[in-house]
Structure 1
Amino acid sequence: MRKNVLLKPLAAAFLMASTTAWSAPGLVDIYQMAVLHDAKLAQARATYQANQEVVSIARAPLLPQLTADGSYVKNDSNKDAYDVTTQELGLNVTQSLYQHDNWAKYSQAKYQLQQSEYQMKFAEQDIIVRVADAYFKVVLAQEDVTLAEAKEAADKTQWERAKASAEVGLASKTDVLQAKSSYDLSKSDRITAQNNLDVAYDELMKLTGKEVHELKVISLNTKLPSQTLNLNDWEMRAQENNLTVLQQEEAANVASEEIEVQKSGYWFNVNLQAGYNDMSYSDTASGYDAQYTDRNNLSIGVYASMPLYSGGGTMSQVAQARSNYKAATAGLRDARETASLDARIQVRNVQRGQELVTANRAAVQSNDAFLEAAEEGYKVGLRNLLEVLTARTNMFQARRNLAESLHNVVLSRLKLEAAAGSLTSDKLEKYDQVLSNPTDEKMPKLDPLDP
């Protein structure tokens, strides 16, 4: 008996500790899972690693090219006097003194490496936005399910109350039909909301590679820090630092160097070549004594070549490269305009989003108050059932709108940072701090209406 008395407090303490220790995953947790799993990010990083060799490959023709060769030949004649064994060893080195396309390709490779780095950084930014987008889709879909379930329960209660009132003559058949219609629609909305939640979880699992069943949420009472934004400043930052813009700048540089590569068909090439050759003979007899004697040779020289005519191919290749450069510069201009547009859109989304949060928070308060008044009015006969059901629907919608506006402000701020090329995981941590574990008190408890 005494043993049980001791065990009960211990069990209660353990249960309390377990409950306290549990925490639903937040933005940073999901981001860390996605970084380890996401295929797009892995592809971008692997491509960058591969492109790091591009510069070394392009530099190789500028450095000395060293080759060695050797031979061992035994000549076996039917006359012993003419038997001979020849051993030869050679060493050759070639150094390019001037070859126009080699230098152009080396410069081009450095631009390609920088472009690849920007592509990887873009992928690292993009996964932050994709994680936040998928995360808030789940949270909002869960909110939709919660609201739909609460509305369905309230409508069911209202329908049952209407039927009971009609049986004693305190409600009309129309009241019952209105309540039943509202209840049927709310069931349909709940099924749709649940399906949307399942799809949102599937999309999140594609990013993380793991099933997640519950996420931290933004409380409807959360007040996000206000942010004063200067449209021109953000637009300028986007034009200069947007990662797509930087990629296109390097693409234009690569295209420019390609013109120089193709122009090499008009330039001469100069190479320095040196070689050493050692030849020795053995097993020679009197028949070869005078002809086969050991010897070695050393040679060094400068060789030049000049292309004179290639059938017009060089001219066409240069023209093609120039057209590709024009296309790259047009792509750069489009990237800058798109980055500028994205910055303007996201600045306005943040500004209007902050105003919308304030408006939706006021709408929640006013709809809560109106619902309370409508319920009281219905109890004393001053409001009909349709007005109460409409008030409840508006209250649910106001809460859903507030949740969505909070999510959209956070997402718009992240997208604005991405447009300016300054989005990092630190920004994600900032918003992760305002999230909290979901609770069962997401919606207010609604008292059934007394007829």
Structure 2
Amino acid sequence: MKKTVLNKASLTGKSGFKKSALSLIVSGLMAGTTLTSFQVNAAYSLFDIYQMAVAHDATLAQAQATYQASQQSVKIARASLLPQVSANASYSDSYLNENAVGPISTTSGDITLKQSLYKHDSWAKYSQAKYTLKKAEYTIKSAQQDIIVRVADAYFKVLLAQEDVKLAKAKEKANKTQWDRAKASAEVGLASKTDVLQAKSSYDLSKSDRISAENNLDVAYEELTKLTGKTVKELKVIALNVKLPQPKLNIATYEQEAQDSNLTVLQAEEQANVANEEVQVQKSGNWFNVSLQAQYAHTKSSPSNPYSYSSKYPDNLSASIVASLPLYSGGGTTALVAQARSNYEAAEIGVRDAKESAKLNARVQVRNVERGVELVAANRAAVQSNDAFLEAAEEGYKVGLKDLLEVLTARTNKFQARRNLAQSLQNVVLSRLKLDAAVGTLNADNLQKYDSILSDPVDDANAPVVPDEYKKQ
């Protein structure tokens, strides 16, 4: 059966194309044609890329597997505190003397129950395992935050690389025009050979810059592909006229939250708890160990051995409480305790360092957001002034007051200003995500919030980029 495939362009073109597409659908249905797919090349949003990365990223998958393994550590440590049951069986042949007619066969079996009543290192290891599991929980949360930041970083690298390509192409076009003018002027004696060579050198440099920019864009796409496992060629962009959310940021509040809730700090604290319990584990070399042991045994001999106690009493049930106390281990226990205490001290220093780093990171990201918002406003003003200058230069060129080089330079500056504005917008979003990560509150909901400021890519070279509220300021 014939398949009809329509793409987005076939339904969004001129009215004639719309009628052709509709008539194609109708005729296909009339002829029994099955419409099997409808291809729409929609641009991917930040949250779309995040969802693909979560399903594919190896780093996050490793963290998840490690966490699942850590979940078993508590069960393993708890096992030594629970009853231990074992069964044994044996069979033997023996001769009472050399004149015996045949051997005496003995069959025996027993079931033994052992229950630790108190073993200091087992309880300490159980506590250790619970702290280790808690640390693993913070580790997986940290990996989940990390992939959000990595997705945003890779996403914005692509968008910025696209702006760099636009800028490089604008410069190349301007320099090519200048070179052509220099050659034409030299032919009529209005320019020297040196002017031509200078113009050509500028054009050659801009051409190499354009090639480098295109290569950087390809590399940015490849990094995004590694993250998602899929080829993505079209992304939504931050429109230059978008208004970013501007909440008030209290740097002291964020510093305190970073000390209390930063995931690296929490991991360091749990590691210190593990190290503290290790001190208790090593101290167990000086503690009593008390356990209960119960055993049921059965022995059967054939033929019966008259001299054997087990032949008269084949069943035996016993129970005992065993206590042991290490007296001297060559000084090893003292050394192990001292080593564990030093490791605990190192872990405590690690907690302090993690808190200081978290505070610093929070302060830096708060300032990045605040200065970033100011930079966005400055770049918006630069875009507005460059747009106005380009318009004036074009009008001046029409009446002979400006030459073509000034117009081309103004156009290049316009692309540079828009590129700078796009970068500052992206940096504000990225800094805000990093700030949320610094205080341990970053999750997919934070990322999805910024999807609302993204839009499908358009040729915005002539679009207004300054909202009314900024024009009034």
Q: Normalised by the size of structure 2, how large is the TM-score?
A: 0.85
For the pair 1:413 / 2:423, whether they are aligned, the reply is no
Partner of 1:272: 292
| 1:22 Cα deviation from its structure 2 partner | 3.0
In structure 2, give the amino acid aligned to 1:275. Answer: Q
Partners of 1:346 and 1:412 within 8 A in 2 = yes
For the pair 1:397 / 2:407, whether they are aligned, the reply is no
For the pair 1:87 / 2:112, whether they are aligned, the reply is no
Q: 1:9 aligned to 19, 22, 27, which one?
A: 19
Paired positions, count: 435
- 1:180-230 deviation line (CA, Å, top 9, x unaligned): 444333212211111111111111112112221221111212221222211
In structure 2, give the amino acid aligned to 1:264. Answer: S
In structure 1, give the amino acid aligned to 2:19. Answer: P
Partners of 2:120 and 2:284 within 8 A in 1 = yes
What does 1:205-224 correspond to in 2, within 5 Å? 205-224=225-244
Q: 1:157 aligned to 166, 177, 185, which one?
A: 177
Residue segments in structure 2 that go unaligned for 5+ positions in a row: 1-15, 26-34, 464-473
Partner of 2:451: 432
Partner of 2:30: none
Partner of 1:448: none
Partner of 2:461: 443
Residue segments in structure 1 that go unaligned for 5+ positions in a row: 1-5, 446-451
Partner of 2:381: 362
In structure 2, give the amino acid aligned to 1:418. Answer: A
Distance (Å, rounded) in 1 between the aligned partners of 2:23 and 2:439: 50
Instruction: Check 1:365–1:269 CA distance in 2 against 1; reply closer, same or farther (3 A cut).
Output: same
| 1:46 Cα deviation from its structure 2 partner | 0.2
Q: Percent identity, aligned pairs only?
A: 66
Partner of 1:305: 324
Instruction: Check 1:14–1:403 CA distance in 2 against 1; reply closer, same or farther (3 A cut).
Output: farther
Q: 2:270 aligned to 231, 250, 259, which one?
A: 250
Partner of 1:100: 120
For the pair 1:141 / 2:161, whether they are aligned, the reply is yes
Instruction: Check 1:14–1:360 CA distance in 2 against 1; reply closer, same or farther (3 A cut).
Output: farther
What does 1:199-210 correspond to in 2, within 5 Å? 199-210=219-230
Instruction: Check 1:364–1:14 CA distance in 2 against 1; reply closer, same or farther (3 A cut).
Output: farther
For the pair 1:349 / 2:368, whether they are aligned, the reply is yes
Partners of 1:111 and 1:250 within 8 A in 2 = yes
Secondary structure of the equivalent of 1:308?
Answer: coil
| 1:19 Cα deviation from its structure 2 partner | 9.3
Instruction: Check 1:210–1:372 CA distance in 2 against 1; reply closer, same or farther (3 A cut).
Output: same
- 1:103-134 deviation line (CA, Å, top 9, x unaligned): 10000110000001111110010000001000
Distance (Å, rounded) in 1 between the aligned partners of 2:121 and 2:39: 67
For the pair 1:234 / 2:244, whether they are aligned, the reply is no
Distance (Å, rounded) in 2 between the aligned partners of 1:225 and 1:19: 36
Distance (Å, rounded) in 2 between the aligned partners of 1:30 and 1:435: 13
Distance (Å, rounded) in 2 between the aligned partners of 1:91 and 1:20: 70
Partners of 2:186 and 2:193 within 8 A in 1 = yes
| 1:100 Cα deviation from its structure 2 partner | 0.7
Across the aligned residues of Structure 1 and Structure 2, the Cα RMSD in angstroms comes to 2.7
What does 1:301-340 correspond to in 2, within 5 Å? 301-340=320-359
Distance (Å, rounded) in 2 between the aligned partners of 1:8 and 1:420: 52
Partners of 2:235 and 2:456 within 8 A in 1 = yes
Question: Which segment is superposed worse, 176-185 or 426-435?
Answer: 176-185
- 1:315-359 deviation line (CA, Å, top 9, x unaligned): 110110011001101111111111111111110111111111111
Distance (Å, rounded) in 2 between the aligned partners of 1:414 and 1:24: 22
Secondary structure of the equivalent of 1:53?
Answer: helix
Distance (Å, rounded) in 2 between the aligned partners of 1:151 and 1:225: 34
Distance (Å, rounded) in 2 between the aligned partners of 1:423 and 1:133: 15
- 1:71-104 deviation line (CA, Å, top 9, x unaligned): 2334478756553222212111111111110110
Question: Which segment is superposed worse, 401-410 or 25-34?
Answer: 25-34
| 1:8 Cα deviation from its structure 2 partner | 7.5
Distance (Å, rounded) in 2 between the aligned partners of 1:383 and 1:179: 19
Partner of 2:142: 122
Distance (Å, rounded) in 1 between the aligned partners of 2:450 and 2:204: 38
Partners of 1:96 and 1:271 within 8 A in 2 = yes
